Amino acid sequence: MRIRMTRRPSWGVPWPSKGRTTAPRRAPAGALGVPPRRDPVRGTVGRAGGCGSGRRRAPAPRGRLPGPDPGPDGARPRGGGASGTRPGDPCRRSSPGGCPPAPRAPRPAPRTAALTSRPARAVAARRSRSGSGRLPGRRGYTETAPVGGGGSPPGLSRRSGADADGPPRSRAGGGPRAAGAMSQRQVLQVFEQYQKARTQFVQMVAELATRPQNIETLQNAGVMSLLRPLLLDVVPTIQQTAALALGRLANYNNDLAEAVVKGDILPQLVYSLAEQNRFYKKAAAFVLRAVGKHSPQLAQAIVDCGALDTLVICLEDFDPGVKEAAAWALGYIARHNAELSQAVVDAGAVPLLVLCIQEPEIALKRVAASALSDISKHSPELAQTVVDVGAIAHLAQMILNPDSKLKHQVLSALSQIAKHSVDLAEMVVEAEIFPVVLTCLKDKDEYVKKNASTLIREIAKHTPELSQLIVNAGGVAAVIDCIGSCKGNIRLPGIMMLGYVAAHSENLAMAVIISKGVPQLSVCLSEEPEDHIKAAAAWALGQIGRHTPEHARAVAVTNTLPVLLSLYMSTESSEDLQVKVLPHDSKARRLFVTSGGLKKIQEIKAEPESLLQEYINSINNCYPEEIVRYYSPGYSDTLLQRVDSYQPITN
């Protein structure tokens, strides 16, 4: 039971203790002249060997053991009770054996030293004068008697007793070991500060490189030479950030990309690309892509340093981000020319790219499809390599994917395959892309519309049979609607597709006329500001009207001929547009005559040697001389004069 004491018990009252309910009553300490001792358990002072009163007093002097005084022979009494006290000790325990011996605890280290010497007494005097009970001067020092030849001043030591011998301790803990630990921390702190400085530097450079206005300043400051050693830093984060900064700098312009090549940075990147973690691989592949995109020469430098094999290995990585970065770099290398594309194929990238388009990550699908498109566009052999690994079937399945950017890349890859030959175009058609691809002509994304029109154009241009297949699937009407719903370069593939279809046969040209393609082409001819789009529209109209007079009449009734004439006469028209109008198209020349355009040209009165007269002469040079004279003003009068002046030959 726990007893709460509000005041100390008086003499004779039992003291509660653990495991004992009663205790012998004790006489006041020193009542019988017995020297008191310090109780190590409760911190009280009582008589040794007997009962004490519990009152406190100063600790026993140093060198004297607590307990009763020794006898005349120098021996101390043993045990407790009556034999442990002086005669007359009023021990009130009723047992005949007297009080039991008090339990002894291990003597704690003394808190203060005995005042038995002159230096110790001097220290005590100094303590009393300080007012706080402590020695003035350094904190933490205690009083002690001078023992041996310690390193502390007399009376001052952090240790007492025998422990005071030996070398002095430092304030942090003392001893040579503590001093060595402090020195080690100082050295490590220097390296930590150096690492923080490197990390902060590469992070700031990478951040500054995102803004174009800072690129020139960074270049003039020699940032390339500072980033190069950081690619081999012992800290992976610094390596990755340094590679990212280099990629952003090289991505900006051709000069910085050349600086990366000339600085022998590419071999370091390629060497580390196969051994580092996924974050470094993505950053290094970004640098290779940024360097290789600018020119075929820089891309060839990447090939020469052995980067293709390492990038192909990255295509087999488990991390989709690493695969995406590697595929992106390979595509940028392959897009320049057939030689670089063949190098990518020889490295074994095509089968792995086909596997990448089957991955669930949309971003990886986009980049892989783009890389296949860049490889296929150069030659029929490269396109056949892509077809041989089964790429067409996987690409055709993604035409209806809801992601617009993915559809953009898929349609581009299919069009690059189909453009080379009839066989490849037929293989694309056999993948059942019609009429699925026609739905892409109504997509909200402009580039999806453009690439879908391009795919249809590349298929239609090969044979009348393929064009007829497109007409039967409703492709002509869908393309005409697409042309009317967009502007600019988005219209161009559809305009050319109509021209290719109409060029094959009269029936296909009539199908374009029936689908109201001629009015839409006339609108493009008059509305579009770009000459190359106007030239394409003029070429398509010529392909439609060149077959029969009926086809020519269908073109003429849309009031297209005056527009063509004005474009030809315009000083702002490009040479390509003027060429497309008359000189190399016999049907267009005939249509120009039958519609009265040539006659109107001859009626124009222009100053000799003027620019207008030069244009008129250019048009007249497209026709025989007698045709030009026939449609010239006054030619009928000239003929009548020749009739009047003609002398018939008589036999």
Phi and psi torsions of 38, nearest 5°: -85, 130
User: Which residues are CB-neighbours of 180 under 8 A, at least 6 positions away?
Assistant: none
Q: What is the 3-state secondary structure of 480-509?
A: HHHHHHCCHHHCHHHHHHHHHHHHHCHHHH
DSSP category for residue 17:
B
Report pLDDT for 140: 42
The average confidence (pLDDT) of the chain is: 77
CA dihedral 236, 240, 243, 247 (to 10 degrees): 180
Q: Which of the pair, 605 or 170, is modelled with greater confidence?
A: 605
Assign 167 a pLDDT band (cuts: 50, 70, 90).
Answer: very low
pLDDT exceeds cutoff 90 at 245: yes
CA dist 262 and 125 (Å) reads 81
The region that residue 638 occupies, defined by phi over 0 for left and psi between -120 and 50 for alpha, beta otherwise, is: alpha
Beta-bridge mates of residue 46: 37
> What's the pLDDT at 616?
77
For residue 27, pLDDT beyond 80: no
Token output for 463: 């044979």
Q: Mean pLDDT over residues 205-213, rounded?
A: 92
pLDDT surpasses 50 at 84? no
Shared domain for 568 and 607, answered yes or no, is: no
Name, of 414-418, 432-436, 616-620, the range with top average pLDDT. 414-418
Residue 174 has pLDDT above 60, yes or no: no
- Residue 588 scores a pLDDT above 80: no
C-beta separation of 99 from 81 below 8 A: yes
pLDDT value of position 614? 75
Q: What pLDDT score does 104 carry?
A: 59
Is 562 strand, coil or helix? Answer: helix
Same domain, 477 and 562: yes
Ramachandran quadrant class, 165 (left: phi over 0; alpha: psi -120 to 50; beta: rest): beta
Return the closest-CA partner of residue 538 out of 593, 495, 581, 592.
581
Mean pLDDT of 168-175: 51
Same domain membership, residue 613 and residue 546: no
Tokens of 255: 């000069």
Per-residue pLDDT, averaged over 555-584, amounts to 66
pLDDT surpassing 90 at residue 144: no
Q: Is residue 495 part of a domain?
A: yes
Where does the pLDDT of residue 72 fall: very low under 50, low under 70, confident under 90, or very high at 90 and above? very low
Asked if residues 59 and 112 have their Cβ atoms less than 8 Å apart, the reply is yes
How far is residue 198's CA from residue 204's CA, in Å, rounded to a whole number? 10
- The per-residue pLDDT for 4 is 52
Q: Does 86 score more than 60 pLDDT? A: no
User: Does residue 145 surpass a pLDDT of 50?
Assistant: no
Reply yes or no on whether the pLDDT at 110 is more than 60: no
Residue 224 has pLDDT above 70, yes or no: yes
> Secondary structure of 594-616 in the HEC alphabet?
HCCHHHHHHHCCCCCCCHHHHHH
More confident residue, 455 or 646: 455
Q: Find where tokens 């474009």 sit.
A: 567
The most distant pair of C-alpha atoms in the chain lies apart, rounded to whole Å, by 196
Question: Are residue 479 and residue 535 in the same domain, yes or no?
Answer: yes
Q: Do 574 and 610 fall into the same domain?
A: no
Percent of the chain clearing pLDDT 90 (strictly above): 42
Q: Give the total residue count for the chain.
A: 651
Domain assignment present for 558: yes
**127 near 135, Cβ under 8 Å?**
yes
Q: Do 610 and 513 share a structural domain?
A: no
* 545 — pLDDT class (breaks 50, 70, 90): confident
Pair (573, 613) in one structural domain: no
Is the model's pLDDT at 159 over the cut of 80? no
Q: Is 519 domain-assigned?
A: yes
- Residue 217 lies inside a defined structural domain of this protein: yes
> Are both 466 and 567 inside the same structural domain?
yes
Q: Give the pLDDT confidence score for residue 250 in this predicted structure.
A: 92
Residue 624: pLDDT band by 50, 70, 90 thresholds? Answer: confident
Reference 311, options 329, 298, 336; nearest CA is 329
* CA triple 326-288-207, angle to 5 deg: 105
Q: Same domain, yes or no, for 235 and 295?
A: yes
Angle between helices 254-262 and 296-304 (to 10 degrees): 20
> What's the pLDDT at 528?
85
DSSP codes joined into one string, 52-74 = ------PPPPTT--SSSPP-TTS
Q: What's the rounded Cα separation, in Å, for the pair 116 and 32?
A: 26
Which region among 47-56, 296-305, 477-486 has the lowest average model confidence (pLDDT)? 47-56
Question: Which is more confident, 410 or 11?
Answer: 410
Enclosing H/E stretch for 196:
helix 175-208
- Residue 96 in any domain: the answer is no
HSE value, Cβ hemisphere, 13 Å, CA-based, for 432: 5
- Quick one: 496 and 614 in the same domain? no
pLDDT at 601: 74
Cis check for the bond before 435: say yes or no (omega within 30 of 0). Answer: yes
* Whether pLDDT at 200 is above 80: yes
Q: How far is CA 160 from CA 43, 113, 156, in A?
A: 21, 8, 9
**Structure token pair of residue 102:** 């008090």
Q: Give 36's strand partners.
A: 47
pLDDT tens, position by position, 462-512: 999 999 999 999 999 999 999 999 988 999 999 999 999 999 999 999 999
One-letter amino acid of 315: L
Residue 453's pLDDT is 95
Structure tokens belonging to residue 199: 């990390």
Between 613 and 348, the more confident residue is 348
Structure-token pair, residue 81: 């009770």
pLDDT classification of 587: cutoffs 50, 70, 90: low
Domain count, the chain: 4
Domain end: 530, 565, 585, which one?
585
Burial of 43 (0-12, 13-18, 19+ CB in 10 A): exposed
**Which tokens in the block code for residue 113?**
């030293």
Shared-domain flag, residues 559 and 600: no
Domain containing 492 equals 457-585
pLDDT at 580: 57
Question: In this predicted structure, what is the pLDDT of residue 350?
Answer: 95
Structure-token pair, residue 52: 């004490």
**3-state SS class at 176:** helix
Q: How far apart are CA 153 and CA 122, in angstroms?
A: 13
Q: How confident is the model at residue 124 (pLDDT cuts 50, 70, 90)?
A: low
36-38 and 45-47 beta bridge pairing: antiparallel
pTM, two decimals, is 0.63
**Assigned domain for 231 exists:** yes
Tell me how many degrees the CA angle 415-420-426 measures, rounded to the nearest 5: 70
On whether residue 169 sits in a domain, the answer given is no
Give 595's Cβ-side CA count (13 Å radius): 26
In which band, very low, low, confident or very high, does the pLDDT at 48 lie, cut at 50, 70 and 90?
very low
Q: Measured in Å, how far apart are the chain's first and last C-alpha atoms?
A: 168
Average pLDDT over every residue of 524-539: 87
Domain assignment present for residue 146? The answer is no
Assess whether pLDDT exceeds 60 at residue 574. Answer: yes
Across the range 116-122, mean pLDDT stands at 63
Residue 155 has pLDDT above 60, yes or no: no
For position 496, which CATH number holds? 1.25.10.10
Q: What integer pLDDT is reported at residue 282 of this predicted model?
A: 92
Q: Report the pLDDT value the prediction gives residue 116, as an integer from 0 to 100.
A: 52
Q: Is 269 in the same domain as 228?
A: yes
